[in-house]
């Protein structure tokens, strides 16, 4: 397939490379010259405008920073520029309302579209092991699924337009809160005189085990390799976690959901990011505990 890929940042760059590796003709765009160079090295054809990249495309995939940019790019450069036969896949993490608005505009113009945010960090994007949570109609999902499968290990249809974003926001609120709980637990265990590897060996096999502990342990040298073993570099930046927590808090307010643990975790990540830590992995919040 001829696939236009819009947005080649930390996540998008690896995703586009995996599409090219799968044999697709990837037409890539990004504002950063360095990102375009990396895409070219990974087998993509690069373009200096979205409008040029989407010409003749069978599919358009986007991975962009926020809802305002997604809305602007689709309105100005994708809808009416890409062939109406193209399927549109937005993999950005944005608010549910904007996802639905963009999908409605695309569908009104004759396009099939899905929102397909991802779970998994930079390593998963590079390794093609992302999980995609997909919102959209059955036909749009059927067309999008093989494209997403080339970039991930799981592609799950969450429901109608916006459902992918809803699932992502809920998932990351749980991740953010569980990481804070994991960090404070290790900090308390240490103060109680427990060896942290021993505590890990116990809790990872007991009722307290969770993904934040067993797959992404915030303590250096404990559990599988994680950003904690690399000075909290790479992984999932605190600033991105804070963005997702803010989306979750806004969504909770919109629907009247009570999320006290999510609210407190959002406050902690906000303070941590504002203290100059937005660029390091979110598990580094253990340093504050």
State the Cα angle at 73 between 94 and 136, rounded to 5°: 50
| SS3 at position 219 | coil
Would you say 55 and 81 are in contact if contact means Cβ atoms under 8 Å apart? Answer: yes
230: nearest Cα among 289, 281, 167? 281
Q: Which residues are catalytic?
A: 168
CA distance 121 to 237: 9
DSSP string of 257-268, one letter each residue: ---HHHHHHHHH
From its phi and psi, is residue 154 left (phi > 0), alpha (psi between -120 and 50) or beta?
Answer: beta
For residue 281, give every residue at least 6 positions away whose Cβ sits within 8 Å of its Cβ, in sequence order, or none.
Answer: 227, 228, 232, 233, 234, 235, 236, 237, 238
């Amino acid at each position: 397939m001829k696939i236009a890929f819009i947005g080649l940042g930390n996540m998008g760059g690896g995703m586009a490379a995996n599409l090219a590796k799968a044999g697709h003709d990837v037409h890539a765009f990004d504002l950063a010259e360095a990102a375009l160079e990396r895409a070219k090295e990974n087998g993509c054809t690069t373009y200096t405008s979205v409008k040029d990249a989407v010409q003749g495309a069978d599919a358009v995939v986007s991975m962009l920073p926020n809802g305002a940019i997604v809305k602007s790019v689709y309105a100005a450069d994708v809808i009416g520029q890409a062939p109406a036969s193209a399927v549109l896949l937005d993999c950005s993490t944005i608010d549910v309302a904007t996802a639905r608005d963009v999908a409605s505009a695309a569908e009104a113009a004759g396009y099939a579209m899905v929102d397909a945010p991802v779970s998994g960090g930079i390593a998963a994007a590079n390794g093609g092991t992302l999980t995609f949570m997909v919102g959209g109609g059955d036909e749009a999902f059927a067309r999008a699924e093989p494209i997403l499968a080339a970039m991930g290990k799981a592609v799950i249809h969450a429901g109608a337009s916006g459902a992918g974003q809803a699932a992502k926001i809920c998932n990351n609120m749980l991740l953010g809160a569980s990481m804070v709980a994991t960090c404070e637990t290790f900090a308390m265990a240490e103060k109680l005189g427990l060896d942290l590897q021993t505590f890990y060996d116990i809790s990872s096999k007991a009722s307290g085990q969770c993904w934040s502990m067993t797959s992404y342990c915030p303590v250096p040298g404990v559990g599988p390799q994680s950003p904690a073993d690399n000075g909290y570099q790479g992984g999932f930046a605190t600033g991105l976690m804070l963005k997702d927590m803010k989306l979750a808090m806004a969504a909770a307010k919109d629907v009247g959901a009570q999320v006290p643990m999510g609210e407190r975790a959002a406050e902690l990540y906000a303070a941590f990011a504002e203290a100059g830590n937005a660029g390091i992995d979110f598990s580094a919040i253990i340093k504050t505990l």
